Amino acid sequence: MKRMTLGAVALAFGLWGCGGSKGGNAGAGNSAVAQAGGSGAGAGGGAAGPTGNATVSGVIHFTGAAPANPKIDMSQESACQSKYTSPPTDPQYVVSDGKLGNVFVYVKSGLPVGATYPKPTTPAEIDQNGCLYHPRVFGVQVDQDIIIKNDDNVLHNIKALPKENRGFNISQPSAGMTSKRSFTKPEVMVPLECNVHGWMHAWVGVLPHPFFATSGPDGSFTIKNLPAGTYTIEAWHEKAGVQQQTVTVGAGETKTADFTFSAPKA
Amino acid sequence: MTAVFAVSAPVHAQNGKVVYNKWCAGCHGDAGAGDGYGSKAMLPHPRDFTKGVYKIRTTASGEIPTDDDLRHIIEVGMPGTAMPEWKSRLSAGEIGAVIEYIKSFSPSSFKDTKAKVIAIGNAPSGSGIDEGKAVFQKLECSKCHGMAGRSDGKSAPTLKDDYGNPIRPADLTENWKFRGGSSVQAIYTRLRTGLDGTPMPSFQDAIDNKLITDEQLWRVAQYVHSLSPEKAPESREVIRAARSASALPTSPDAPAWQNVERFWVPLVGQIIAKPRWFAPTVDGVWVQALHDGTKLVLRVAWDDPSKSPDPVWDEFLGRMSKTLTDVDGPLATQQGPDRLVVQWAQHPNDESKRPYFLGGDAKMPVYVWRWTSEPRLEEGTETGIAKFTALPNGRVTQAAKYVDGQWQVVFTRPLESSDTTQVPRFNAGHAIPVAFFAADGSSGEDEIRGAVSTWYMVYLDVPTPKRVFVAPIAMIALSAGLGMLLVTRAQRRVENGGSAADSSHTEER
Amino acid sequence: MTRLRFVLRHPFWQGVILLVVAYLAFTIGVQYVPPLFGVSSAPVPHSVVLQYMFIAVIGVLIFVSSDELRWRTFKEPLYATLVDRDKRWLRMGLLVAVPVLLGFETYQQARPRVDAPIELRSIHPAPPGQISFRGKTIQLSGLENPLRKAGAMADHLREGRRVYYQNCIACHGDHLDGQGHFAHGFSPSPANFSDNGTIAQLTESYVFWRVAKGGPGLPREGTPWNSAMPVWENYLTEDEIWSVVMFLYDQTGVQPRRWEASPEEQKNPTGTKQPTTSTGGPK
């Protein structure tokens, strides 16, 4: 049932699969959200900002041993705990075979100044399931609707803690509840949290253009439909920090931009 | 619109700056960042105006407040915090100017956005406290506020505000400290708008999703309102210990306590001895007392969201020590137990020997009962706060219970004392000075950091002496007799022909 | 109308009206008088009202008995109540009500009371001539605030503001009125600096002494003393105390009392408002 919901979410985003996530983690949460393709559909119709057919893709590598993800004590929330076969952990590091997932990669600069892109008609979606957020890291465009769903039959509140935007703090006391919110200004990243369950965290990158992606569990990401140009690409990870690269792509070209992260020194 | 802003606002804001700098900057800071001189020791910290985020509004979650919202809070203040009312100090014009100046600290919030006011209707007729309780449970308000509303919910230890400071859910049994007011309408408004900057969310979407109706949210507000006493308790100087003819209740949850008068003793931070403490957890104790002529029982109950020490509160303690810095040294890194000290004058009948209220001093010690949640009870003397010496052969006993965020402790001691130089005899018919100290180990409080009271009096009722009834009865008999005498004499005189005055009077009639 | 005129002219009813007016004046009216002179007033104690009413009754009796005719008319309604057939029920009622009322009042006087002992203490005890401040002897009499002659006032006031908000605000409050958020926990209440009866009547050296030594440093006549005022010499330097003292006067807009000025000059030293002399201030 819950897997089906997640699957549906993934499909709606036009994502690549959520298989192969970490052993037995029923949350399977950190499904890859590489989104540029999906939302790019809406970008073509706008009058203002340029699009093209260039692509930047790459893989996020992770060197060294991944720090263990902290265990979550969900004993106070049996409705969530029962969704897990093994003790749930907080998926701060989604690492497999030296590749890092849940890294937000986006075009930081290089697009014409002041270029605007119409917001996609498809809303983004975040689900509260098993007392974790799915997805954990994702991007939206300015003013794009974000559908917030609760699939847990417990009280969640979802609170946004932006710096540039106005925040919100919504209570969702029951399964099946949905709320719709959006952000009006670009901001990378806006933290989301639940105060009832202090371990629940998610991040949303708000951008004025559709050129962003989140690395999947295999560490890969793709940003499509770029116009030819030279771009600063930034990769953001909640623990491992941020990195930048400059990439020049011609029309129709596909360029690779790999990043390598390691655990920050304590 | 913009033109009006451009012309009038700067002038306004200029006046506002003068008023702000004189009266507001000491806490809220010169640049409105909530970092004034007084801010560090205060919990909650003063509002940071640069974020444009305000708790008490009539607007939707995440929205800016209206000018009226800001004016309201400035006029009435925020109960339970250091923010006082300003209506008595500042004119309406000055407040208006300050509002413009405050808004100028967060221009992006107030320039681009227009506040969307939530229409608040009227409370539905009738009272639906039972329904409100059911909805309260359905919405799982107890997750933070606790089963009895005493802010001891499972999530309470993890809560922080937008700035990472520790924050407690409101104690719903003490509505006189609700930041936005205690009325049903105020509570309902907070449920609709949430308290921005805090973990308290808006329940608007629960109505929009048809999970509950608007009326049900009003019922929740009515239920929450009903959890507190009708009126904020007033502290009375004298705590009366009634004389009981039946056996004294010695357990904290004995039903007999329900019929014993409760006395509220407010406690405030211990800010006299080093290290001072400006953010006490315990804000008062409820005291009940009884005696039977040979023994005194004293029941003390106080709200404390944590049964310390408890590892789930480690995170909270960590936040406390990060937030409350620079006040007489760092907090303990380990949680201590919860504490209660009941302090008595050693020579209660001699006013010239009243000790200093804070643990006495070397010349005039106090007699104390030191209770901790370990649990342990020591009887002894203090020559200054926490300078404790145990007395041998203590005769006071205790029974304690922790229920839904409240400690309830019953102390029992014989009235007699074998050694009246150090241990007072509790004489009925006399006022005996008593003072209280309470500390919550989970928020870094200890023997000195905690909440204190000054002297109160415990008065042990004496059986009403017979003479008390003799005098009134004699008075009634005497005055009734005199009256009868007066009447009969006057009437007899009329019958016998009457006086001139009387006859003229009768003729007139 | 004629009935009203009859009542107003009748000495008995005149007496009754007079007593009612007197009672209302004593219980309600009196407390509005002092504010006319800028002094706040407390409610009139019950015992005082009783004394005044006794005097009023005597006055009324003297008045009505000063003239034979008036005295006789005065007594008419009384006699009527005692003897008239149609006043039988009023008579019976009074015969029951008056003794019961008297009995109740007697009981109120006789029953044991749950009262705290009354404490008498001096609000402004006389300061010592000199104090020892952190081991240094400071001569208080004749002492002015040394910061007023050194450095920039603005700096001292900024420093005083810092000291006040870091240390004093919890009790003495934002308004400097003794209504800080901890004030409700302390008895006696923290000093209200906005009140004319506090710092406006005192020299800065007196305030310095009170701040430095706090409640425990009070002389004998200040006891029994429950003051929660800390001993600030344990926390603050001499300059910090002088600067916060200066801040108190600046923020409230009152002037400290001066040493040099003779009593005449004191009343109006430099055109600023100077409080009347106090009973407990420094001499």
Q: How high is the pLDDT of residue B152?
A: 95
Question: pLDDT, tens digit, for every residue of C140-155?
Answer: 988 999 999 999 999 9
Closest-CA distance, C185 to chain B, in angstroms, reads 6
Question: pLDDT, tens digit, for every residue of B357-372?
Answer: 999 999 899 999 999 9
Closest-CA distance, C25 to chain B, in angstroms, reads 29
pLDDT average, residue stretch B110-127: 84
In chain C, where do the E strands start and end? 130-133, 136-139
Percentage of chain A surpassing pLDDT 90? 76
- Using an 8 Å CB-CB cutoff, list residues of chain A that contact chain B: 76, 154-155, 157-161, 166-174, 176-179, 195-198
Q: How high is the pLDDT of residue C39?
A: 65
Contacts of B198 in chain A (CB under 8 A): 169
Subunits touching B (CB < 8 Å, at least 3 pairs)? A, C
Task: Locate the chain B residue with the closest alpha carbon to A160.
Answer: B62
DSSP class of residue B117 equals B
Q: Give the type of residue at C207.
A: V
Contacts of A170 in chain B (CB under 8 A): 61, 194, 201-202, 204-205
Closest CB from C102, C164, C230 relative to B271: C230
Q: How confident is the model at residue A1 (pLDDT cuts 50, 70, 90)?
A: very low
Q: Do B205 and A170 touch (CB under 8 A)?
A: yes
pLDDT average, residue stretch B479-487: 89
Q: How confident is the model at residue B464 (pLDDT cuts 50, 70, 90)?
A: confident
Question: pLDDT, tens digit, for every residue of C8-17?
Answer: 888 888 889 9
Nearest to A157 by CA among A135, A139, A172, A140: A172
Question: pLDDT, tens digit, for every residue of B370-398?
Answer: 999 988 899 999 999 999 999 988 899 99
Here the tokens at position A252 are: 């129709």
Handedness of CA C237, C239, C240, C244 (dihedral sign): positive
Question: pLDDT, tens digit, for every residue of B20-54?
Answer: 999 999 999 999 999 999 998 899 999 999 999 99
In chain A, where do the E strands start and end? 54-63, 95-96, 99-100, 104-109, 124-129, 132-134, 137-141, 146-150, 156-160, 168-172, 178-181, 187-193, 201-207, 212-214, 220-226, 229-237, 241-249, 254-256, 259-262
Contacts of B271 in chain C (CB under 8 A): 170-171, 182, 230
Q: Do B505 and C80 touch (CB under 8 A)?
A: yes
Here the tokens at position B243 are: 């004389």
Contacts of C186 in chain B (CB under 8 A): 268, 454
pLDDT average, residue stretch A128-155: 96
List the single best residue of B21, B81, B272, B351 to mutate versus C (max C Cβ within 10 A).
B272
Instruction: Give me the torsion for CA of B16, B18, B24, B28, rounded to 10°.
Output: 80
Nearest to C242 by CA among C144, C168, C127, C167: C144
Q: How high is the pLDDT of residue C38?
A: 65
* C-beta of residue B307 within 8 angstroms of C-beta of residue B156: no
- C-alpha span between A102 and A238 (Å, rounded): 8
Here the tokens at position C54 are: 């006794």
* C-beta of residue B432 within 8 angstroms of C-beta of residue B426: yes
Q: How high is the pLDDT of residue B25?
A: 96
Q: Do B64 and A76 touch (CB under 8 A)?
A: no
- C-alpha span between C225 and A182 (Å, rounded): 61
Closest-CA distance, C193 to chain B, in angstroms, reads 14
For the ranges C189-198, C205-214, C218-227, the one whose mean pLDDT is highest: C205-214
Q: Do B505 and C76 touch (CB under 8 A)?
A: yes
pLDDT average, residue stretch A35-56: 61
Q: Which residues contact B446 (CB under 8 A, 6 or more apart)?
A: B332, B336, B339, B439
Q: How high is the pLDDT of residue A2?
A: 43
Q: How high is the pLDDT of residue A265?
A: 80
Q: Do A177 and B211 touch (CB under 8 A)?
A: yes
pLDDT-wise least confident of A228-237, B327-336, B465-474: B465-474
Q: How high is the pLDDT of residue C225?
A: 65
Closest-CA distance, B88 to chain A, in angstroms, reads 34
Q: Do A197 and B155 touch (CB under 8 A)?
A: yes
* C-beta of residue A136 within 8 angstroms of C-beta of residue A91: yes
Q: How high is the pLDDT of residue C197?
A: 83
- C-alpha span between B301 and B256 (Å, rounded): 15
C and B touch with 3+ CB pairs <8 Å, answer yes
Question: pLDDT, tens digit, for every residue of A164-185?
Answer: 999 999 999 999 999 999 999 9
Average confidence score pLDDT of chain A: 85
pLDDT-wise least confident of B327-331, B434-438, C208-212: B327-331
Closest CB from A161, A173, A197 relative to B206: A173
pLDDT average, residue stretch B209-230: 95
DSSP class of residue B120 equals P
Q: Which residues contact A80 (CB under 8 A, 6 or more apart)?
A: A74, A88, A130, A131, A152, A154, A197
CA angle at A41 for the pair A37 and A45, rounded to the nearest 5° = 145
Q: Do B205 and A159 touch (CB under 8 A)?
A: no
Compute the radius of gyration of chain A from its Cα atoms: 18
Nearest to C263 by CA among C251, C239, C247, C281: C281
Average confidence score pLDDT of chain B: 91
> Does position B1 have pLDDT exceeding 50, yes or no?
no
Here the tokens at position B207 are: 């109505």
Which burial class, exposed, middle or buried, applies to A150 when counting CB atoms under 10 A from its CB (0-12, 13-18, 19+)? buried
Question: pLDDT, tens digit, for every residue of B292-350?
Answer: 999 999 999 999 999 999 999 999 999 999 998 767 888 888 999 999 999 999 998 88
B149: phi then psi, degrees, rounded to nearest 5: 85, 15
Q: Does the CB of B362 have a partner CB in chain C at under 8 Å?
A: no
Closest CB from B143, B159, B202 relative to A169: B202
Task: Locate the chain C residue with the closest alpha carbon to B454.
Answer: C186
* C-beta of residue B430 within 8 angstroms of C-beta of residue B347: no
- C-alpha span between B76 and C87 (Å, rounded): 57
Question: pLDDT, tens digit, for every residue of B15-25?
Answer: 899 999 999 99
List the single best residue of A72, A81, A157, A199 to mutate versus B (max B Cβ within 10 A).
A157
- Using an 8 Å CB-CB cutoff, list residues of chain B that contact chain A: 52-53, 61-64, 109, 113, 138-140, 143-144, 154-155, 158-159, 162, 194, 196, 198-206, 208-209, 211, 315
Nearest to B211 by CA among A172, A195, A130, A170: A172
Q: How high is the pLDDT of residue C201?
A: 87
Q: Which residues contact C125 (CB under 8 A, 6 or more apart)?
A: C218, C219, C221, C222, C280
> Does position C203 have pLDDT exceeding 50, yes or no?
yes
Question: pLDDT, tens digit, for every residue of B45-89?
Answer: 999 999 999 999 999 999 999 999 999 999 999 999 999 999 999
Task: Locate the chain B residue with the closest alpha carbon to C157.
Answer: B22
Q: How far is CA C210 from CA B344, B505, C125, C191, C247, in A?
A: 27, 73, 10, 11, 15
Q: How high is the pLDDT of residue C45?
A: 77
Measured distance between the N- and C-terminal CA atoms of chain B, rounded to whole angstroms: 82
Q: How confident is the model at residue C113 (pLDDT cuts 50, 70, 90)?
A: confident
Residue A209's Cβ-side half-sphere holds a number of Cα atoms within 13 Å equal to 25
Here the tokens at position B89 are: 């100090």
Residue with tokens 């005149």: C14
DSSP class of residue B368 equals E
Q: Does the CB of B242 have a partner CB in chain C at under 8 Å?
A: no
Subunits touching C (CB < 8 Å, at least 3 pairs)? B
> Does position C19 have pLDDT exceeding 70, yes or no?
yes
Q: How high is the pLDDT of residue C224?
A: 60
What are the residues facing C130 on neighbouring strands?
A: C139
Q: How high is the pLDDT of residue C265?
A: 45
pLDDT average, residue stretch C124-128: 83
Compute the radius of gyration of chain B from its Cα atoms: 30
Closest-CA distance, B127 to chain C, in angstroms, reads 33
Q: How high is the pLDDT of residue C122?
A: 67
Question: pLDDT, tens digit, for every residue of B154-175?
Answer: 999 999 999 999 999 999 999 9
Closest CB from C75, C186, C214 relative to B501: C75
Q: Do A167 and B162 touch (CB under 8 A)?
A: yes
Q: Do A196 and B61 touch (CB under 8 A)?
A: no
Q: How confident is the model at residue A39 (pLDDT cuts 50, 70, 90)?
A: very low
Contacts of B358 in chain C (CB under 8 A): 228
Closest-CA distance, A73 to chain B, in angstroms, reads 11
Q: Does the CB of C237 have a partner CB in chain B at under 8 Å?
A: no
pLDDT-wise least confident of A241-255, B216-230, C158-172, C194-208: C194-208
Q: Do C170 and B269 touch (CB under 8 A)?
A: yes
> Does position A263 have pLDDT exceeding 70, yes or no?
yes
Closest-CA distance, A207 to chain B, in angstroms, reads 19
Q: Does the CB of C102 have a partner CB in chain B at under 8 Å?
A: yes
Q: How high is the pLDDT of residue B126?
A: 84
Closest CB from C95, C107, C228 relative to B480: C95
pLDDT-wise least confident of B470-479, C108-117, C192-201, C248-257: C108-117
Here the tokens at position C273 are: 């408002």
> Does position A3 have pLDDT exceeding 70, yes or no?
no
pLDDT average, residue stretch B189-195: 97
Task: Locate the chain A residue with the closest alpha carbon to B199.
Answer: A195
Closest-CA distance, C83 to chain B, in angstroms, reads 5
Q: Do C181 and B490 touch (CB under 8 A)?
A: no
pTM (2 decimals)? Answer: 0.82
Percentage of chain B surpassing pLDDT 90? 76
Q: How high is the pLDDT of residue C236?
A: 96
> Does position C71 have pLDDT exceeding 60, yes or no?
yes
